[in-house]
Each structure stands twice: as structure tokens, then as C-alpha cells.
Amino acid sequence: MSPIFCDDIQEGLQGVLRDISFDKLFVLLDEQTEKLCFPLVQVSDAHIIRIKFGDSNKSIDTLCQVWQQLSDMGASRHSLLVNIGGGMLTDLGGFAAATFKRGIRYVNVPTTLLAMVDASVGGKTGVNFNGLKNEIGAFHSAQQVVINTHFLHTLDVPNRLSGYAEMIKHGLLSNTAHWAELMAFDWQRPDFAHLQDMVMRSVLIKQLIVEKDPHESGARKALNLGHTIGHALESFSFGQPRPLPHGYAVAFGMACELYLSFLKLGFPKDKLRQTVQYVKDNYGVFAFNCKHYDSLYALMTHDKKNTANIINFTLLAQIGDCRINQQASRDEIFECLDFYRESFGV
């Protein structure tokens, strides 16, 4: 399945729905997408399921609410669920589809940059549990993903930047020219036509990786760059007054893991510094101190990529030269946290 890029979201989605047979159609929305995005889509003859907005609602409780509404409105194994929203909603909606009546089909209509380039493509679904990101989930691919980049105009800058972090990751996994193009993008004067072109390339980079390894047994682990430390920072931030958006956590996680790449694999120091500076200039700072290192390390031990309690990283020897299943000692991990705090001035 290759994502469909369309200029007219209503026409694009209707074309997809005409090609899928189903007995009942359900649309999952949150408060934001119902107000800002659903009027642009106008799906007729659909049963609407509403959930609350925000990552704190990516939970078992919300999942149960979706199951309950599907059941109350007579969904069967032949029904279709359309998820219209950001990564939280497409993850949760995909998992609801994966588990309701042992699996129904679904279509994703991502409305945030993060969902377009990451969450809605690749078949990973899930909810947060016990303070950990995506702890409960399943691989269950969407029947189709319909992408309309005009939704980017409905987003504030932090939401755009959150998705852009995953694009930076794709650039690092791809080639130096694409990474340099991403490093040159000016968020003070954004060129949306250029951004839309880069979004399409970013989605295709992820799609090619996923097609090689749908269930993350090997090559797909490349997509975890920045996520081992990033997920730990994100989970740690849940207890803070201002929790980190996912993409911000990944951006800070990449800064740390590129230093590990430099330390262990000789990743070029100039490209490390340039990437870290771009993150600092655009994403600001997430503050923690050395007293938090043990808590962050403990969170890393819960990462789903680990085997036999060994923390696994995806690291880079060069841009485009990815090494999966890399280990680092506790001291090396603490050293990269020191590097982060020194680089970001915290």
C-alpha cells in the first residue's frame, strides 16, 4: 500500500471509500479535528465516534470508549473505520480496529505533520500504558492512507516542528543532500510549497523501509533512531508541568544518540554539531539534571527494542549508514546525557 497524496481531500477519500466494500462506515475524531478538519472532509452516511484531544487520552480508558461505541452502533467485522486526526488518534484508532472483533479494516487521514510522516504509515498501532509510550499495541496496517498537506495550514508552529523532527530522522537515514536540505529549512520564513515536497519524500523514505520489514525484525529498526532516549525523555516529561510533544522528545533524543554515534561509530563531528544546533535553535531546551539520570536510564530499560534487558540503540556511522542493535554502557549513556546538557546549556 502506497499512501495517496491528494489536493482535494474530500475527492481523495471518497475515491478510496468507493474501492472498499463495507457494511457500515465509522469516523473517529477528536475535538480539534472535528472543528478544524472534518468540515473539509464531509464524509456522508458515517457514524461519528468522538474522543478527547491530547496524548493523555491515548489510553486504555479511551480505547474502551471507542470499542463501546463501535459495539453500540452495530459495527461488524465487515465495517470500516476512518481515523481523521494526528498521531495519537491514528495510533489509538488503528489499535481499536486491530482488536475489535479480532480486526476490522481502517483508513487513516492524517491531519498533523507528525501523523503524515510517521504515525499513520507503517501499521504500528497502540496506546500508552503504565506511564510508558505505546506499551500496548499491535501491527495492523491501514487499508489506505490519504494525505493532504493543506492540513498543515491548520497547525501551530510547535505541531509543525514536532512532525519535522521525524523528517530530520528520515534525512539522516537517507543521504547527505536530503539532510542538508532539511537543515536549511527556515522556520522563521517557511516555504510551504517546499515543505510539502519534502513531506512527500519523507513519507516515501519511511514507506520503503517499512516494505522491507513490516514487523520490525531487522531493517525497520532504522526508524528507531532518536527514539530510545527520546521515548525516555517523553515518558519522563509526563510528570512535568509541560509534557514534551513526541517530535520534540525525538529531536532531543537524536541529539543524544548522534553523540553516541560519534562516540562509538565515528559519526562526523561537524554533522553532529550542525544537527544539534538546528535542534537547539528550533526546539529550545528540555531541562533535566544529573539527579534524573537514573530515572531516565530506568525508562530506557523498558524500551520495546530491548532484548534480554540490554538497551538497544539505532546509531549512525555516517548519514545513510545505519547500524541497528547497538549497545551502550550505562556510563556511555550518562556521557551522552552530559553532552546534551552541555550543548543545550542546562
Domain coordinates of the chain in residue numbers?
Answer: 4-153, 156-344
Phi and psi dihedrals of 136, rounded to 5?
-115, 125
Tell me which fold the domain 156-344 belongs to.
Answer: Dehydroquinate synthase-like, alpha domain (1.20.1090)
User: What are the angstrom distances between the C-alpha of 249 and each of 113, 200, 253, 255, 272?
Assistant: 15, 23, 6, 10, 17
**Residue 341 is a catalytic residue:** no
Of the residues 108, 160, 216, 264, which is catalytic? Answer: 216
Tell me, what's the pLDDT at 111? 95
Q: Judge whether 106 and 12 are in contact, CB under 8 Å.
A: no
Among 57, 108, 159, 224, the active-site one is 224
Residue 72 burial (CB count, 10 A)? 10
Whether 102 is a known active-site residue: answer yes
For range 14-43, the mean pLDDT: 94
Percent of the chain with pLDDT over 70: 100
- Which residue in 124, 133, 140, 178 is the catalytic one? 124
Identified catalytic residue from 206, 221, 264, 305: 206
At 158-184, the pLDDT tens digits run: 999 999 999 999 999 999 999 999 999
Minimal CA–CA distance to 318: which of 275, 287, 281? 275
Residue 223: strand, helix, or coil: helix
**224 is a catalytic site residue:** yes
Mean pLDDT of 16-32: 96
Residue among 165, 136, 154 at smallest CA distance from 60: 136
Q: What is the model's pLDDT at position 108?
A: 97
Report which of 161, 170, 173, 172 is spatially closest to residue 121, judged by C-alpha positions. Answer: 170
Among the options 58, 220, 221, 264, which is catalytic?
A: 220
Whole-number Å distance between alpha carbons of 43 and 117:
24
| Sequence-separated contacts (24+) of 49-54 with Cβ below 8 Å | 49/73, 51/89, 51/92, 54/30, 54/88
- 22 φ/ψ angles, rounded to the nearest 5 degrees: -155, 155
Is 220 among the catalytic positions?
Answer: yes
Beta strands in 42-183 (DSSP E): 47-51, 80-85, 105-110, 124-129, 132-139, 144-147
Would you call 315 exposed, middle or buried from its count of C-beta atoms within 10 A (0-12, 13-18, 19+)?
Answer: buried
- Residue in 310, 281, 297 with CA at minimum distance from that of residue 231: 297
Q: What is the dihedral of CA 81, 84, 85, 88, to 10 degrees?
A: 0
Instruction: Specify whether 234 is catalytic.
Output: no
Mean local confidence (pLDDT), 40-62: 93
Q: What is the mean pLDDT of residues 102-116?
A: 96
Tell me whether residue 246 is one of the annotated catalytic residues: yes
227 a catalytic residue = yes
Q: What is the per-residue pLDDT for 223?
A: 96
- Read off φ and ψ for residue 76, nearest 5 degrees: -120, 180
- On the question of pLDDT at 304 being above 90, the answer is no
Active-site entry in 102, 153, 242, 291: 102
Tell me: pLDDT of 241 over 90.
no
Name the maximum alpha-carbon separation found in the chain: 58
Give me the catalytic one of 105, 178, 221, 231. 231
**Whether 212 is catalytic:** no
169, 178, 221, 227: which one is catalytic? 227
pLDDT of residue 215: 87
Q: Give the domain 4-153 fold.
A: Rossmann fold (3.40.50)
Residue 216 a catalytic site member? yes
Active site residue 280: no
Q: What is the pTM of this model?
A: 0.92
Question: Do residues 119 and 165 make contact, with C-beta atoms less than 8 angstroms apart?
Answer: no
| Rounded Cα–Cα distance for residues 89 and 80 (Å) | 16
Of 140, 160, 246, 305, the active-site residue reads 246
